[in-house]
Amino acid sequence: MSNLTNNLPVKGMRVVDFSQVLAGPYAATMMAFMGAEVIKIESRTRVDIVKRASPTRFHDINLSKMSITLNIRQPGAVEIVKKLVSISDVVIQNFRPGVMERLGLGYDVLRAVRPDLVMLSLSGFGAEGPERHYSAYAAIFGTMGGLAHITGYPDAPPTEERGPLDLRTGQFVAFAILAAILHRRKTGEGQYIDLAARDGITSLIGDVIMDYTMNQRSQSRKGNLDDFMAPHNCYPCKGQDKWVSIAVKTDEEWEALCNAMGMPELSKDPRFADSFSRWQNQEDLDKIIGGWTSGYTHYEVMHILQKAGVAAVPSFNSEELFKDPHLNERGFIIELEHPELGKRKVFGAPWKFANITPQIKRGPMLGQHNEYVFSELLGFSEGEIAELQEKEVLN
């Protein structure tokens, strides 16, 4: 197993993680999965709001990291950070624009101690522009990014997606950092990355933006319906709140669906004879399909239709995800032991490399790695560490 982790893509790289909540921490976790040594800067006086609200969620979003406690507002803490950055490769932070500069830890300062540093600053609206100082959580940048307006049903308000948008933003962060690392390996140059979550979310709805730029149409909510495919919806199944998603693209798939439902005559019905007719008559179509699916479990519908070549899968709740045999066989769900939380099932890396095993370990305890970082990495003596603790620099 050790041989499979020795060749991780960014093994040997050190990341200093100032980020909090979800998006930034998830990006740093992705880096840790790929082999980086991630050192999370925490504080006992300013605890991450996710840790306060849900220690289990905090754990699951901060896997494979180290944790040190440091009060960066105390005199002397800035010099410690600079010393740590001088032996690190990447800094991730998601304070509001200007905060790191006011703390004396802006990119220009940190670049002076590590010229080829890659530093990524994540914020809701970016470090430039009239809205740069606006507060932002996922519900905010998802709404201003344009995604909420097209999510939901036509007769209902826009729908906020929240947590998943944080994690998608975290993937943007990890991607940008890896691109900057590749650039550094080619040129020797460091990089400062200003990443706006709002920009990232808007980039996800490119087809909607294109529709407006080309046709001056501003799309709104249409539930589960597609612009072209029909049927395309979630249908009720046996059991309480059990659903299956079915999508049909071609006439061949439609015929296969009709045969699988035991209704071959539907493929000849003029209302459903071709894709445009099906799209025009979706309400009637969905009633027929929903009547059939309601006689089966969502798993049974999936197996029947997938065997016939029709795209159909259950709409899983959390319990079903963790029990899903496919995810478990792929090794995506991992059980870890935590000294406070006990045994925890967590999601691993969402990729599989050939002959490379992701570095997935439990999340750290608060300040668990103070001795390693301050003593072994930074070379502070026991007396110096005690003095810093007395001054509440290390807290």
CA angle 85, 91, 97 (to 5 degrees): 120
> Which residue is catalytic, options 166, 199, 241, 286?
166
Kindly calculate the radius of gyration of the chain based on its CA atoms and give it in whole angstroms: 25
**Amino acid present at 216:** Q
d(C-alpha 221, C-alpha 122), whole Å: 29
d(C-alpha 143, C-alpha 150), whole Å: 10
d(C-alpha 206, C-alpha 314), whole Å: 27
CA angle 286, 287, 289 (to 5 degrees): 65
- Give the position of tokens 């009709």: 258
**Amino acid present at 393:** V
Nearest to residue 18, comparing CAs of 70, 64, 53? 70
Strand order in the sheet with 243-247: 232-236, 243-247, 311-314
Please state, as a whole number, how many other Cβ atoms lie within 10 Å of the Cβ of residue 329. 9
Q: Is 60 a catalytic residue?
A: no
Nearest to residue 313, comparing CAs of 297, 300, 302, 328? 302
Instruction: Give every CB contact of residue 79 below 8 A, 6+ residues apart in sequence.
Output: none
Q: List phi, psi (to 5°) of 261.
A: -80, -5
Instruction: Give every CB contact of residue 38 below 8 A, 6+ residues apart in sequence.
Output: 14, 15, 17, 28, 29, 31, 32, 64, 65, 66
Q: What residues are annotated to the active site? A: 166
